Amino acid sequence: MTEFFSPRPHRAFSKGFYKSDDFDYEVRGLLGAASHGNTDAGEVLATIDGVAEGDHEHWFQAWHDTGSRVRALADDAAKAGDSVSASAAYLRASTYFGVAVNAVSGLESDDLLVPTFRLQRSSWEGFVDTTDRVVERVEIPYEGDTMPGWFFRPSPESATRRTLVMVNGSDGATSGLWNTGAAGALARGYNVLIFDGPGQQSLLFERGIGFRPDWEAVLTPVVDFLLQRADVDGDRLALYGISQGGYWIARALAYEHRFAAAIADPGVVDVAASWNKNLPSSLLKLFREGKKDAFDRDMALGMKFSRATARTWKFRARPYAKDSYFDTLTEVHRYTLTDDEATRITTPLFLADPEDEQFWPGQSEELAAGVSGPTELSRFTAAEGANFHCQPMARQLTDARMFGWLGTVLPR
């Protein structure tokens, strides 16, 4: 007699890898990053295998250990003259150390922040030194100083080409931009510029330079720098911003009109919305009434009862470089695109709009409705494996859509 049974469906994708939203989202992003070699799926799953829910110390140590192990593989391969294996391992090590950098926020002390960042950055530089890609380290003039960058070309020929400028988010490692657009752009014949802006990576951790809302002051020098290069077609400049970079590029495009096309992944018009929704209504009322002392007092009390909230606040607040809870939130509220600024945007825009967007739901649609130029609002769904902020497990699909659109706006 044949036995019939109803097997339980596999629900890892829908139920998640951790109950913690932060841990789960990180794992999704790391698995998705394997599509361009930023990670190896087995390394990711082996790293989290022994990390318990909410164990922040072990989470940090696990990623630091994996980064160190893969970095050693890269160093050995480089010494042996195997640049292919070396570059691949350096890129992965940079990604894992990048997770560890952010995980420092879960520790009792920030003492390991800068040393861990330097491991991440030196691993990225190891990738730059060993990759077969054509890449040049550059320094972009910026307010009497410079911003470090890396200019990639798809081939050694110094032909004049379309160029993609990539703007990072609030906490992404430089290596993350390789997976979220740089590799795809190079494969399609674009030059690519990656750089550290204010509040990002080396400018924050080593120079103490925090965020600023007016990113036209950042991107205008970038455009000026690129237009001096013979291998850049000034009429075919494209701009990409990921996560909070979606706000920065929108703000810049209201004033800097030399980009021929732009991609916001996703669109962001009000950064503070992701902060406000996590505040109790009583605290938000104190803030909106301008009661600084009462707000700071109640926030400090609340942080004593929730270490998780205190960790998240510390991590998110650091780049805004303010001393008090009230002043930090006041600064975050400056990162808002006004209606007038939105109407100034005439640059063609591609706007990623993922299902289950956690941080700025509905804001891609809001930006699309407010600008004056043409828009392409691209919906990404769970059925495609492409839900959540920045489609962490669907970067190949994201590449296909955004570069497909960009090819119609900036033909070869």
The answer to whether residues 148 and 195 touch, using CB atoms and an 8 Å cutoff, is yes
Judge if 372 and 227 occupy the same domain.
yes
**322-379 per-position pLDDT tens digit:** 999 999 999 999 999 999 999 999 999 999 999 999 999 999 999 999 999 999 999 9
Judge if 116 and 241 occupy the same domain.
no
Report the C-alpha gap between 177 and 186 in whole angstroms.
12
Torsion over CA: 136, 146, 91, 247 (sign): negative
What's the rounded mean pLDDT across residues 257-265?
98
Judge if 263 and 343 occupy the same domain.
yes
| pLDDT at position 3 | 57
Q: What is the reported pTM?
A: 0.95
**71-84 per-position pLDDT tens digit:** 999 999 999 999 99
DSSP 90-107: HHHHHHHHHHHHHHGGGS
Report the C-alpha gap between 247 and 342 in whole angstroms.
11
Residue 45 located in a structural domain: yes
Q: What is the CA radius of gyration of the chain?
A: 21
CA angle 134, 197, 164 (to 5 degrees): 40
Judge if 155 and 206 occupy the same domain.
yes
**Can you give the CATH number for the domain in which 180 is found?**
3.40.50.1820
Residue 9 located in a structural domain: no
Judge if 87 and 64 occupy the same domain.
yes
Judge if 258 and 377 occupy the same domain.
yes
- Tell me whether residue 243 is one of the annotated catalytic residues: yes
Residue 202 located in a structural domain: yes
What's the rounded mean pLDDT across residues 106-111?
89
Residue numbers of the domain that contains 175: 134-271+335-409
The answer to whether residues 370 and 346 touch, using CB atoms and an 8 Å cutoff, is no
Judge if 311 and 398 occupy the same domain.
no
Judge if 256 and 386 occupy the same domain.
yes
Q: Which of 123, 243, 274, 364 does the annotation list as catalytic?
A: 243
Half-sphere exposure (CA, 13 Å, Cβ side) for 194? 29
Q: Which of 65, 96, 124 is the last residue of a domain?
A: 124
Judge if 231 and 363 occupy the same domain.
yes
- pLDDT over 90 (residue 315): no
Residue 3 located in a structural domain: no
The answer to whether residues 153 and 231 touch, using CB atoms and an 8 Å cutoff, is yes
Judge if 162 and 245 occupy the same domain.
yes
Please list the helix, strand and coil fractions of the chain in percent, rounded to the nearest 5, in that order: 50, 15, 35
**Is the preceding peptide bond at 266 cis, omega within 30 degrees of 0?**
yes
Residue 1 located in a structural domain: no
Judge if 149 and 248 occupy the same domain.
yes
